[in-house]
A and B are shown apart, each in its own frame.
Chain A
Amino acid sequence: MAMPGTSRKSAAWRSVSRHVILILAAFGMLYPLIWMAASSFKPDNLIFTQPSLVPSVWDFSNYASGWHALRVDFTTFYKNSFLISALAVIGNLMACSLTAYAFARLNFRFRWFWFAMMMGTLMLPYHVTLVPQYILFLNLGWVNTYLPLVVPRFLAVDAFFIFLMVQFFRGIPREIDEAAIMDGCGPWRIYWRIMLPLSSPVLATAAIFSFIWTYDDFLAPLIYLNDMRQYTVPLALRAFIDSSGGESLYGEMFAMSTLSLLPVFIVFLVFQRLIIRGVALGALKR
């Protein structure tokens, strides 16, 4: 603003060109998704024979028929997905931040041993623990409920979030805790009053990922849920396509897939603001 007139003009130019580049890049990135959205407006027999972006025939019926294409409609699937994802966010934020705080800031015996164990849980391919885990939950009587999808989140089973938070907690200068300890604060107050508020970017990041990954996950719901009334959105989407050569509903699948991106898109837009709000931290850190 304080710049003289000539460079204001060039600043405007720079801003425009920056937007043009960003929009072009975004279009390239999004081209497949745009194609998907376009296909959701085509009748099935034109989707693969006319792969152009603009449908020659606009067919809006895929959305209505897709919503009700299965025995249970998508209202239920969305409710289920939101419930599970919301619980996963709460569980992960609580349990993982507690664990991460312990690893990042507290001293206790065998800390590195436990940390290594925690990292180890990230490394084993999940396909081989799937069956033992299923048998475990079966014996607990949890199969065909949401418990196998939700309870683990409250017990910090997802090491990704712990590791992520450890890295960010360690980015907060220790002088702040030391000052707090001088003032007589215990570990809990440091965690609750200092670490968490200072970590809003990483908490927002963790919240976004928890929500989206839970919302996207199909393997755990596939294995643990039997009743279609409990299905989540991605599990329901998979029911549209028959890869064994039977009849599939492509237009409906594209319509519902497009629609299913909407909630995560909104969640993302809302939470990414919280990442930005971390600005306050800069001042504190000095």
Chain B
Amino acid sequence: MNNRISRRDFGRLTAAGASLAVLGGMMTPAQAETRLRLIWWGNPDRDRRTNEVVDLYVKQNADVVIDPETYAWNDYWPKLATQAAGRNLPDVIQMDYRYIFEYARRGQLADLTPFVGKSLDLSDFDPNQLASGKVDDKLYGISMGANSMTHVYKPAQLEQLGLPVPDATKWTIDDYVAMGKEVKGKLPEGLYFSENMAYREPSLETWVRQRGKALYTADGKLGYDLEDLTDYFAFWFQMQEDGLTPPADLQSQAIASGKMEDTMFVTGHAVFDFIHSNQLVAVQKLVPDDLDITMIPNQKDGKPGQYLKPSMLISMSATAADPEASAKLMNFFVTDESAADILLIERGVTGDASIRERILPKLSPTEQKIVAYLDVVGTHVGDLPPPPPKNAGELDRALQPAWESVAFKKVDLKVAAKDYYEKAKVALERA
């Protein structure tokens, strides 16, 4: 009796299993001539544009089928790492400037050098931007757009406070602090002069580059001295103590979230804030007032701290089944005119000169501000820094708790700086 009934029960289970198998089968589409998988992180706007370009490409190339995959930034990296572990990476991959080194050095990305001049037409491409996709002298990614750090502000608010609009290339940190002290008394409660940028690695990077150093040396060691870091923490701690930047617990709200809507600027707690140039469009959408951007103020007699870095890159998987077809698709994204008409500068300002000329008139006023800004920055930038070593990402993230321990006065700033510096050295040597 046991047997009979259990068998019946099993019948049910297997029937369910079989119907699931059919279901699964239906989900796998029929094979076409060339199937390419394309993956990117983004948002609804970027997804729409990218999908339009994909549709356009498929229309022009009837023998190609493209399977797009798109995720939010936070979900993208675990997904990509899992796919990489299974040797199942998509053929064409949107890459981040930080992660490209991790993936390239670990053999997950294809060297694009053999395709350049053939299926990848980069003749019009800015050599500096092209160089940003190189790792150990091989080309692992093509910049999808230039990007740089900025201070964002509301011109009308500056005028109302009686502050001059900063001169992007000339203003110094002294000017910046003086402006802050001047308006401090005039600001309504809860509004501060600037966000406290100490926790941002790009801010630290600018600081040490202005002093003629770099975050990392070419052979993967720390490229700055403990003293630089101590000064850096001391500067921003003073800003906080002088009331020019928000108190630590308020500021931490922006740090914890990392999202645009929680920045001190958008929540109305700061006159100046730090953003990347390609984020201006997004910030503008969240704030009713008109916005503008300017450069990070320099130290006295400092060297150029900023540089043009790729906002994101496009790379090919080392396991791409059809590298030639993948390269053609990448080429379409980077150099095709009709594709550029759709993408515009949503991913950053393109390094392809003729494309840039073409799309310039089609940009919105906000987008044109970005292009104009990058033109200015382009004449005042330093060289690309050496590529970050392995575990650099860990140091980037470790800066935040290190700074917070200073801001919340858990540790003396000299101790915190030394602690971070020593730990950074250890981390760079760890597997």
Contact = CB atoms under 8 A, between A and B. Distances in A.
Interface string A9-24: 0000000000000000
Contacts of B42: 242, 246
Contact of A144 (B16, B27, B48, B71): B27
A95 B10 CA distance: 10
A240 B44 contact: yes
* Interface class of chain B by DSSP: helix
B12 interface: yes
B59 to A, nearest CB: 16
B43 A49 contact: no
Question: For chain A, which range describes its interface: under 10, 10 to 19, 20 to 34, or 35 or more residues?
Answer: 35 or more
A252 B278 CA distance: 22
A147 B28 CA distance: 12
In this complex, which of B88, B260, B282 has the most chain A Cβ atoms within 10 angstroms of its Cβ? B260
Contacts of A49: 266, 268, 287-288
A40 interface: no
A154 B14 CA distance: 10
B82 A70 contact: no
Nearest to A240: B44
A267 B79 CA distance: 31
Interface in B359-418: none
Interface stretch (B18-26, B164-172, B226-234): B18-26
B85 interface: yes
Contacts of B46: 242, 246-247
B86 A135 contact: yes
A241 interface: yes
B27 A242 contact: no
B17 A48 contact: no
Contacts of B23: 145-146
Interface string A139-170: 00011111100110010000000000000000
A173 B45 CA distance: 60
Nearest to A249: B44
B51 A138 contact: no
B72 A45 contact: no
Contacts of A150: 20
B70 interface: yes
Nearest to A137: B86
Interface string B264-293: 001110000001101101100111100000
Contacts of B275: 245
A239 B24 contact: no
A134 interface: yes
B367 to A, nearest CB: 12
Interface string B52-91: 0000000000000001111111110011011101101000
B261 A248 contact: yes
A48 B267 contact: yes
A148 B287 CA distance: 43
B1 interface: yes
A230 interface: yes
B47 interface: yes
Nearest to B75: A222
Interface in A1-50: 44-45, 47-49
A285 B41 CA distance: 57
Interface stretch (A86-94, A115-123, A201-209, A275-283): A86-94
Nearest to B281: A247
A95 B288 CA distance: 55
A147 B88 CA distance: 18
Contacts of B346: 246
Contact of A242 (B16, B20, B72, B79): B72
A283 B79 CA distance: 53
Contact of B16 (A91, A227, A241): A91
A2 to B, nearest CB: 50
A243 B72 CA distance: 7
Contacts of B82: 130-131, 134, 223
B67 A151 contact: no
Nearest to B96: A244
Given A45-B287, A188-B1, A247-B45, A146 B73 contact: no
A134 B85 contact: yes
B79 A147 contact: no
B106 interface: no
B6 A188 contact: yes
A223 B46 CA distance: 21
B430 interface: no
Given A71-B47, A138-B88, A246-B282, A146 B24 contact: yes
Contact of A154 (B16, B28, B44, B71): B16
Interface in B242-271: 257-261, 266-268
Given A187-B2, A239-B44, A243-B72, 20 more contacts: A47-B261, A48-B261, A70-B44, A71-B47, A87-B20, A95-B13, A145-B23, A147-B20, A147-B21, A154-B13, A186-B1, A188-B6, A192-B5, A222-B75, A222-B78, A222-B79, A228-B69, A243-B73, A248-B282, A252-B44
Interface of A: 44-45, 47-49, 69-71, 87, 90-91, 94-95, 98, 130-131, 134-135, 138, 142-147, 150-151, 154, 186-189, 192, 218, 222-223, 226-228, 230, 238-250, 252
